[in-house]
Structure 1
Amino acid sequence: MDSNTEVLHAWHAGTSGWDALVDRYSRLVWSVPRSFRLAHADAADVYQCTWLCLAEHLSRIQRPEHLGTWLVRTATRHSITVLRTRGREVAYDLWEPESTLPAPDEVAITNDRQRRLWSALMTLNERCQRLLRIAAHSPELSYAQVAAALGIKVGSVGSTRSRCLAELRRKVEGLR
């Protein structure tokens, strides 16, 4: 069969027209999604959709000599649709989900550190405990505000804090 018209008439008659069309235009249709650099699976989808559209509209083809152009345009539209859709998709790997939870060993280490810190803190005198709690939970407070809260002189806040931290450090290291 030489012309598209003959191929279309053969298809309408129920003979091998479809196979002849696919053989004739297969490489052309396949080249369109590949020219858009679609992944193999997406290009295969576009290829199949293009042939499906032709099967659905084959009886309405009025100018068989322009069938190649029609196939290229259809494949182009499908390729652009795939690109738009893929641009809105969020990749999600079902095999290796990204975990926001810490690893079990990290949890164990953190829990141990916290336990040792709190145990050591509880052995400090009342004034050091209060000062270090204020420093940890309200770092934005000025020395004047901390001094007022603890009932000590402003000039002694820094040196007292340093002594309390050094004592806490020794006690934490002693709990190892």
Structure 2
Amino acid sequence: MAAAVADEPGAWRCLVLRFTDLVWTVARGHCADPADADDVCQVVWLKLAQHLPSLRDPARLPAWLVTVTRREARRAAALRRREQPWDFGDAVGAEPGPEERVLRDEREIALWRVFQRLPERCQQLLRLLAVTPTVSYADLANAVDRPVGSVGPTRTRCLRVLADLLAEAGLLDTATSVGRAEVVR
């Protein structure tokens, strides 16, 4: 350590070689990404270069390196959590313009008008399925007060009626099958 402070040739190399495994192991233990661990190691060596003259006890250098490495790894992890990767879908032009929003709103209004033409039991069942798609048929049957065995067939009938009403309103691509019907956009 004294040789590195005195800038003796090769002293830094020996110091880094001696403690690289320690610093890397601590950094890697706290960083999920190896690139982050590399960055942490670089910062630790920089901090050592800055603080080496003020370190008094060479025997405490490993503990100092571990402490600084942990702090830097935590700092890197906190920065990583705060980073928001750029989503190119949010780029300029990705937002629908006023015309597209009006068309979308009109289409949604038309869809809800068609939906309201369904029998009440179909509306209730389809709303429950839309809101809780992973709900079990037993829970659905209980919610709509019907036998469990009738939920699947009732769902199918309701979707067919909805598809017919959507086609009648010109909101369904009639070239597709009812099971895979798509709303006209």
TM-score (norm 2): 0.48
Structure number with bigger Rg: 1
Higher relative contact order structure (alpha carbons within 8 Å, sequence separation ≥ 6) = 1
TM-score (norm 1): 0.50
